[in-house]
Amino acid sequence: MPSADPVRPLVVTDDAELLDDLLRLAAAANVEVTVVPSAARCGRYWTDAPLVAVGVDLVGALAHTEPQRHPNAVVVGRTSAAPTSDVGVYADALRLGAREVLTLPDDEEHVVDLLTESTERLSGHAPLVAVVGGRGGAGASLLAVALALAGRRARLRTVLVDTDPLGGGLDLLLGAERVPGSRWEEFSDRQGRMVWSALRDALPHAHGIPVVTWNARRPCAPIPPSAVRTVLNAAARGSELLVADLPRSLDAAAREVLRRATVTLLVLPADVYSVVAAERLVPMLRELVPDLRLVVRGASPDGLSAETVTASLGLPLAGELTDEPGLSRLLDRGDPPARQSRSPLAAFGDAFVTRLRSVPARSA
């Protein structure tokens, strides 16, 4: 029956057998659809539907109403019914702006993919927060984990991406290094388009977060930029927040992440050595990202203040992190950081995610 839910794909057909097929495919894709059996009645749902599947039985009548061209419409028929090879069907599909004319059962797998993708967010909508250390051991990986856990607490569909091949692995920080799932090694040859639901189900999950990381027991090869693009595009369609941990080396994979970053956080301790090390990195980051901010750790009246660090590097301050007692013991036990209510990492993550959600990214 018709539904006012605008996120549902729209099926326009009065062919009972075709409808049965499409509903079966929608069930396979785990997607609910809005069904309208009349060309005249689908206008209410046409514009907002993320996907429109028009049966060949109604494509002519619908084209006659001259609806606004839909960017994600397809025409679907059955081999045993009116042939989709009919020239008139293609002419009517063209008038609707339909992407394809599909025939069941030959194109069933493709229809399932279209239905699955239709409920995912459009590529680029999910903000990407990139985290990089101003020097080795600055705590970038810890902050990336803290932001991802904060996103999960905020009930955002969050994905955590590890692009540091020489790091210890974000799954290890989350206590999930033994969780089964595909790592970067399985995706290194991928390019083009991936369906997010398939990628999500293949990844290891930790505390409800899909994690793209490395196999800790194998040598790590560089990730091709094409594989990074493929994974990030799929994740952006299916998530509401992406968090990426980057290496200081800024290899080709890291640069691919930075070009897509909504905001980049540079993490460094408040000491002279760290500031000098960060000064070498900042010019490269400025060339790649429009929004670069500092997260200063351990500032104190007896050492460098956060204001001194930001003034030295000429960057805005995203926030400060105080030392967290017992953090090393927590990590040695295999417990994830930033989960306790009094954790400075957790507090920073919650505050930053809240700002990121409430205002445009460059003001977060």
More confident residue, 2 or 159: 159
d(CA 7, CA 235): 18
Per-residue pLDDT band for 136 (boundaries 50, 70, 90) equals confident
In the sheet with 317-321, reading across from the earlier edge strand, the strands are 205-206, 209-212, 158-162, 241-246, 128-133, 263-269, 292-297, 317-321
Of the listed ranges 30-34, 320-324, 331-335, the least confidently predicted one is 331-335
Instruction: Classify the phi-psi angles of 124: left when phi > 0, otherwise alpha if psi is within -120 to 50, otherwise beta.
Output: left
CATH of 128-363, one of 3.40.50.300, 3.40.50.970, 3.10.20.30, 3.30.70.260: 3.40.50.300
The DSSP annotation for 61-79 comes to: HHHHT-PPPPTTEEEEEET
pLDDT of residue 116: 79
Per-residue pLDDT band for 349 (boundaries 50, 70, 90) equals very high
pLDDT of residue 189: 80
Phi, psi (5° rounding) for residue 255?
-65, -35
Q: Would the pLDDT of 233 be above 60?
A: yes
- Residue 189, number of CB atoms within 10 A of its CB: 10
Per-residue pLDDT band for 34 (boundaries 50, 70, 90) equals very high
Please check whether the two domains, 10-118 and 128-363, share a CATH topology: yes
Contact 33, 55 (CB under 8 A): no
More confident residue, 320 or 88: 320
pLDDT of residue 123: 41
pLDDT of residue 334: 63
pLDDT of residue 3: 38
The DSSP annotation for 273-340 comes to: HHHHHHHHHHHHHHHH-S-EEEEEES--TTS--HHHHHHHHT--EEEEE---TTHHHHHHTTPPSS-S
Q: Would the pLDDT of 143 be above 50?
A: yes
Q: Would the pLDDT of 139 be above 70?
A: yes
pLDDT of residue 362: 44
Q: Which residue from 71, 9, 61, 56 is spatially nearest to 35, judged by alpha carbons? A: 9
d(CA 352, CA 360): 12
- Residue 360, number of CB atoms within 10 A of its CB: 9
248-263 mean pLDDT: 91
| Domain extent listing, the chain | 10-118, 128-363
Give pLDDT tens digits for 270-286.
Answer: 999 999 999 999 999 99
285-301 mean pLDDT: 88
Quickly list H helices, the chain: 16-28, 43-46, 59-64, 87-96, 108-118, 140-153, 170-173, 184-187, 196-202, 225-238, 252-260, 272-288, 306-313, 327-332, 344-358
Of the listed ranges 36-50, 208-222, 249-263, 322-336, the least confidently predicted one is 322-336
pLDDT of residue 292: 95
**In percent, how much of the chain has pLDDT > 90?**
48
pLDDT of residue 341: 65
Q: Which amino acid is at 12?
A: V
Q: Would the pLDDT of 171 be above 90?
A: no
Give pLDDT tens digits for 172-206.
Answer: 888 888 899 999 988 888 766 777 888 898 999 99
Give pLDDT tens digits for 50-105.
Answer: 899 999 999 999 999 888 888 889 999 998 655 555 778 888 998 888 989 999 99
What is the topology classification, in CATH, of domain 10-118? Rossmann fold (3.40.50)
3-state secondary structure of 54: strand
Cα 30 vs. chain centroid, distance in angstroms? Answer: 19
Give pLDDT tens digits for 144-154.
Answer: 999 999 999 99
Per-residue pLDDT band for 29 (boundaries 50, 70, 90) equals confident
